[in-house]
């Protein structure tokens, strides 16, 4: 049986329309899920929506509808975006589902039984936007006297009875856990931030609220609802069948291989979540990767500035695979990045249309015209031929190691090294000249190129599924010739004599509108 791989996105707050940040987190997971499936893993890819809490309740009030009807509507927008972006999730969880309520109440009981939850009262600052509690020392006071959290969110003073989780008791065990699992938090710089935060001392965490009721009721105390982050984090185990820890699904997929998150929510995933799980007697996930944030033409993206990037507009302007490629190529994954029209167009025209698109188009047209539209029969390979074929066949092993540390930009860079080498080879070998001078050599050169493009098209599928499929169609590859067993040194190479369809361009150029 194939090895399991369980990957999750954060679940998105349904307070607002989806934007580029949401699409980015899920895209990264989609590429990993597709990569692992093609590489023979049994993948479970989870995404969904975070529907409880004060922030969502307030948004529903503002919209003038009841929270359930509101969340039904907004959650659907996230599902629609996922379909539009060609995301391949296997499950979409909503925290208002019954299966999730059961899971939340069960983990609560385990925490009570373990003696890690006690009843007291909270008096302190709370930011509804972050759904987070803050200490006085973390806040900044503005000229208007208003206090804000480090995220820029406004805080309010809250005083209410509350259950607390004994987070303070978990400091040493968390630090030991990070030590024992050096790749639990990636990138490394984030890991250092988290460990110094924990070393700085942890305070017990308020895990229930009483001043509103849009949430999962605390078992045995109806005055309280569970803190939205305890509720939300639990989604990752609900989706694999928790509380049935003996179930096949749970045994197979838990602990998760990877929780992908933005840097803003790392603390919840790398500190609170493993502490909750360990306290409940459950295993912690294997890795949390925190990616960076996008700005828009150098500016922080925010509703008040009015510079939100709608992923649907972006795709309608540049094309789906172009946007998917750009987002993972432009920025070293983990760093912050800036979206600009110019960078988008440069990559789309330069790397996709010119480098990759022209390579495929030139080679396939020459085969179509000069080889009766069939894969040519190669003669003996020269050192140059072997060099290019060797580079192409070596790619899979190389990019596997890069994918395993979520280094998407390096994977794409490695693929482009081969694309550029193939273009150099076309120029050096000049097959159009060989047509008259040495037709058997032309056949060999076009074969080497055809085989290289086949390898490339197999390996670009996780990033650009549609376009890669167009290329594989043009190479007459069947459905069973598209997974990663078809790439690498042991693969079945392109079959001579195979009939190829008439080539069509797969990577359009972006043409600036006049005056635009
Ligand atoms: N509901 C919580 C997560 C609970 S997970 C148990 C939440 N939701 S969110 O909708 O606010 O954010 C989800 C993700 O979007 C986060 O990973 C966040 O980092 C990401 N982004 C939001 N804006 C972003 C950018 N401008 N750029 C990149 N990603 C950003 O937090």
Query: From atom 29 of ligand 1, which residue's Cα is the shortest distance away?
Result: 21
Atom number of ligand 1 nearest to Cα 294: 27
Provide the whole-model pTM: 0.97
- Tens of pLDDT along 71-102? 999 999 999 999 999 999 999 999 999 999 99
- Are 389 and 422 in contact, with CB atoms under 8 Å apart? no
Distance, CA of 468 to CA of 213 (rounded, Å): 49
- Tens of pLDDT along 188-226? 999 999 999 999 999 999 999 999 999 999 999 999 999
Angle at 356 between CA 355 and CA 358, to 5 degrees: 75
Query: From atom 6 of ligand 1, which residue's Cα is the shortest distance away?
Result: 233
Per DSSP, the three-state class of 137 is helix
- Number of domains comprising the chain: 2
User: Structure tokens of 192?
Assistant: 């250092």
- The answer to the question of residue 501 being in a domain is no
- The answer to the question of residue 183 being in a domain is yes
Ligand 1 centroid distance, CA of 137 (Å): 25
Query: From atom 20 of ligand 1, which residue's Cα is the shortest distance away?
Result: 21
Query: From atom 8 of ligand 1, which residue's Cα is the shortest distance away?
Result: 12
- Tens of pLDDT along 36-72? 999 999 999 999 999 999 999 999 999 999 999 999 9
DSSP of 268-286, one letter per residue?
A: IIIIIHHHHHHHTT-PPPS
- The answer to the question of residue 47 being in a domain is yes
76 and 222 housed in the same domain? yes
Terminal-to-terminal C-alpha distance of the chain: 55
Query: From atom 30 of ligand 1, which residue's Cα is the shortest distance away?
Result: 21
**CB-defined site of ligand 1, < 6 Å:** 10-13, 21-22, 24-25, 50, 232-233, 235, 261-262, 264-265, 293-294, 301
Which are the contacts of 63, defined by CB distance < 8 A and separation ≥ 6? 70
DSSP of 278-329, one letter per residue?
A: HHTT-PPPS-EEEE--EEETTEE--TTTT-PPPHHHHHHHH-HHHHHHHHHH
Atom number of ligand 1 nearest to Cα 262: 19
Cis peptide before 105 (omega within 30 of 0): no
Q: Which domain holds residue 95?
A: 4-292
- The answer to the question of residue 76 being in a domain is yes
Ligand 1 centroid distance, CA of 340 (Å): 21
Angle at 339 between CA 337 and CA 340, to 5 degrees: 135
215 and 123 housed in the same domain? yes
Ligand 1 centroid distance, CA of 336 (Å): 14
- The answer to the question of residue 434 being in a domain is yes
116 and 215 housed in the same domain? yes
Ligand 1 centroid distance, CA of 36 (Å): 24
Tell me the pairing of strands 117-127 and 132-134: antiparallel
73 and 218 housed in the same domain? yes
- Tens of pLDDT along 143-190? 999 999 999 999 999 999 999 999 999 999 999 999 999 999 999 999
Rg of the chain on CA atoms, in Å = 26
Angle at 486 between CA 24 and CA 364, to 5 degrees: 85
- Are 339 and 20 in contact, with CB atoms under 8 Å apart? yes
- Are 464 and 324 in contact, with CB atoms under 8 Å apart? yes
- The answer to the question of residue 189 being in a domain is yes
């Amino acid at each position: 049986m194939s090895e399991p791989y369980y990957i999750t996105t954060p679940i998105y707050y349904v307070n607002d329309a989806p934007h580029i940040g949401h699409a980015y987190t899920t895209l990264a997971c989609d590429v990993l899920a597709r990569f692992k499936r093609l590489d023979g893993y049994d993948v479970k890819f989870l995404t969904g929506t975070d529907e409880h809490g004060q922030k969502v309740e307030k948004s529903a009030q503002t919209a003038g509808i009841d929270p359930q009807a509101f969340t039904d509507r907004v959650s659907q927008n996230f599902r629609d975006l996922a379909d539009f972006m060609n995301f391949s999730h296997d499950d979409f969880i909503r925290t208002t589902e019954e299966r999730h309520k059961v899971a939340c109440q069960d983990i609560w009981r385990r925490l009570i039984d373990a003696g890690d939850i006690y009843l007291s009262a909270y008096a302190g600052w709370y930011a509804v936007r972050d759904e987070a509690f803050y200490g006085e020392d973390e806040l900044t006071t503005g000229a208007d006297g208003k206090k804000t959290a480090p995220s820029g969110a406004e805080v309010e003073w809250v005083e209410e009875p509350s259950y607390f989780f004994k987070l303070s008791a978990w400091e040493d065990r968390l630090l030991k856990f990070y030590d024992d699992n050096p790749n639990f938090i990636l990138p490394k710089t984030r890991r250092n931030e988290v460990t110094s935060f924990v070393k700085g001392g942890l305070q017990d965490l308020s895990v229930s609220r009483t001043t509103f009721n849009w949430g999962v009721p605390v078992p045995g105390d109806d005055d309280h609802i569970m803190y939205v982050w305890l509720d939300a984090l639990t989604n990752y185990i609900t989706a694999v069948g928790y509380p049935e820890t003996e179930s096949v699904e749970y045994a197979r997929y838990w602990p998760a291989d990877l929780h992908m998150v933005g840097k803003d929510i790392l603390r919840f995933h790398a500190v609170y979540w493993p502490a909750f799980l360990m306290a409940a007697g459950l295993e912690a996930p294997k890795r949390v990767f925190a990616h960076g944030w996008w700005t828009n033409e150098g500016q922080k993206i925010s509703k008040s500035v009015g510079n939100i990037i709608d992923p649907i507009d972006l795709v309608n302007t540049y094309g789906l695979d172009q946007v998917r490629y750009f987002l993972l190529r432009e920025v070293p994954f983990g760093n912050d990045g800036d979206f600009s029209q110019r960078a988008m167009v440069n990559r789309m025209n330069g790397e996709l249309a010119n480098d990759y698109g022209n390579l495929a188009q030139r080679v396939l047209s020459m085969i179509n015209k000069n080889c009766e539209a069939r894969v040519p029969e190669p003669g003996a390979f020269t050192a140059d031929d072997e060099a290019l074929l060797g580079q192409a066949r070596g790619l899979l092993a190389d990019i596997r190691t890069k994918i395993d540390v979520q280094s998407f930009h390096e994977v794409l860079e490695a693929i482009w090294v081969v694309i550029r080498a193939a273009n150099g080879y076309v120029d050096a070998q000049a097959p159009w000249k060989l047509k008259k001078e040495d037709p058997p050599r032309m056949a060999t050169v076009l074969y080497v190129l055809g085989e290289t493009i086949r390898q490339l098209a197999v390996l670009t599928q996780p990033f650009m599924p549609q376009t890669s499929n167009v290329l594989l169609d043009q190479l007459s590859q069947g459905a069973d010739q598209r997974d990663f067993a078809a790439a690498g040194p042991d693969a079945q190479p392109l079959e001579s004599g195979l009939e190829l369809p008439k080539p069509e361009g797969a990577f359009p150029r972006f043409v600036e509108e006049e005056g635009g």
